[in-house]
């Protein structure tokens, strides 16, 4: 074993805040989302949406609700983005940890605000209406529905629907569930979580945008990711450096061999990943690769290299 020339910082997952949260139409979350949409949308579109919301709050009727949900596309800008400041994103995250609308458009946010109305209905009406919406929804409507899941009541009843949604190969729908969405980390079983993470590699989605990726890491997932890496190596295929993020705290003998192999390659991001795993190795199992990744260890110590920065770089 080599001598520790410096004591690397222990890799710590970001703060994870459990959030049993109630979102009502009068909540701060609703107010913030409405204000963000208002900044980006036409006065006519907002007037229409507010009238629909007020009407449906007074007397909820399914058919008009369906028409309004679909009718968002007739009132808001098809290519309309959202004016979202860093302060907006920070405020939303304070309300609901892990929740982000950074890549949303006007269509999605308007529909999520309508779904908050639906969240105030009695449970059978709520669940039946969500199911009916999904049965006829186009891609953009589906992304709005799944994006709203962390804001909606009865999450235990929505888990199976979200898991089913992840079977899609349509990237926008997959992303609406798996990325920047705290719902899976809070409600998925370990098996469902594992399947989601594994699929993210098959369809090449950015792991650093999966909320709770460090909190939900476990030995079974680590073993499955190791198997996936070996399959890809055997086939001569690239293995994303992000794969090792969920393995960092499970340094079996096989994993030590894996990280040793990763440290010895010059493919982009691989040595950085090995350094990040080594930085959290308190037992010295990876001391033998220290010299190979020393430059990147310095970057980890200085905070210039993190799993998130590596994911963004890739």
> Tens digits of per-residue pLDDT, 14-57?
334 344 444 554 488 899 999 999 999 999 999 999 999 999 99
Q: What is the pLDDT of residue 28?
A: 83
Q: What percent of the chain has pLDDT over 70?
A: 92
Task: State the number of CA atoms in the 13 A half-sphere of 4 facing the CB.
Answer: 12
Look-up of token digits 């460090």: 214
Cβ-Cβ contacts under 8 Å for 13 (sequence gap 6 or more): 214, 215, 217
Is residue 79 very low, low, confident or very high in pLDDT (cuts 50, 70, 90)?
A: confident
Q: Single out the residue of 267, 286, 277 nearest to residue 306, CA to CA.
A: 277
Sign of CA dihedral 66, 72, 78, 81: negative
**How open is the CA angle 143-145-150, to the nearest 5 degrees?**
105
Is residue 71 very low, low, confident or very high in pLDDT (cuts 50, 70, 90)?
A: very high
Is residue 159 very low, low, confident or very high in pLDDT (cuts 50, 70, 90)?
A: very high
Tell me the C-alpha distance between 186 and 199, whole Å. Answer: 19
DSSP state of 16: -
Q: In degrees rounded to 5, what are phi and psi of residue 64?
A: -60, -35
Q: What is the pLDDT of residue 119?
A: 94
Mean pLDDT along residues 238-259: 97
Q: In degrees rounded to 5, what are phi and psi of residue 252?
A: -70, 170
Q: What is the pLDDT of residue 55?
A: 96
**pTM (predicted TM-score):** 0.88
* Nearest 10 degrees: Cα torsion 195, 198, 204, 206: 90
Q: What is the pLDDT of residue 27?
A: 80
**pLDDT at residue 7 above 60?**
no
Q: What is the pLDDT of residue 139?
A: 96
7 conformational bin, left if phi > 0, alpha if psi -120 to 50, beta if neither: beta
């Amino acid at each position: 074993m080599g001598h520790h020339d410096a004591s690397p910082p222990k890799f710590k997952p970001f703060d994870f805040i459990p959030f049993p949260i109630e979102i009502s139409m009068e909540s701060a979350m609703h107010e913030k989302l409405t204000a963000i949409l208002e900044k980006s949308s036409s006065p006519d579109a907002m007037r229409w949406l507010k009238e629909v919301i007020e009407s449906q709050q007074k007397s909820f009727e399914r058919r008009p609700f369906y028409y309004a949900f679909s009718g968002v596309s007739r009132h808001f800008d098809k290519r309309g983005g959202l004016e979202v400041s860093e302060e907006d994103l920070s405020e939303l995250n304070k309300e609901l940890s892990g929740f982000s609308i950074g890549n949303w458009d006007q269509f999605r946010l308007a529909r999520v605000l309508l779904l908050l109305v639906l969240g105030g209905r009695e449970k059978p009406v709520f669940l039946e209406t969500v199911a009916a919406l999904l049965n006829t929804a186009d891609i953009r409507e589906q992304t709005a529905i799944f994006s709203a899941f962390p804001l909606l009541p009865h999450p235990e009843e929505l888990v199976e629907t979200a898991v089913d949604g992840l079977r899609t190969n349509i990237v926008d729908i997959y992303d609406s569930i798996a990325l920047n969405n705290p719902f899976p980390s809070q409600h998925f079983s370990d098996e469902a979580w594992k399947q989601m993470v594994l699929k993210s590699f098959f369809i090449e989605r950015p792991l650093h945008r999966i909320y709770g990726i460090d909190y939900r890491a476990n030995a079974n997932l680590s073993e499955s990711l190791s198997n996936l890496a070996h399959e890809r190596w055997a086939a001569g295929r690239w293995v994303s450096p992000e794969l090792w993020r969920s393995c960092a705290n499970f340094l079996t003998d096989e994993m030590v061999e894996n990280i040793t192999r990763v440290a010895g390659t010059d493919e982009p991001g691989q040595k950085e990943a090995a350094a990040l795993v080594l930085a959290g190795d308190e037992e010295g199992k990876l001391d033998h690769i220290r010299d190979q990744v020393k430059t990147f260890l310095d970057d980890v110590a200085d905070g210039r290299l993190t799993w998130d920065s590596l994911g963004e770089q890739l």
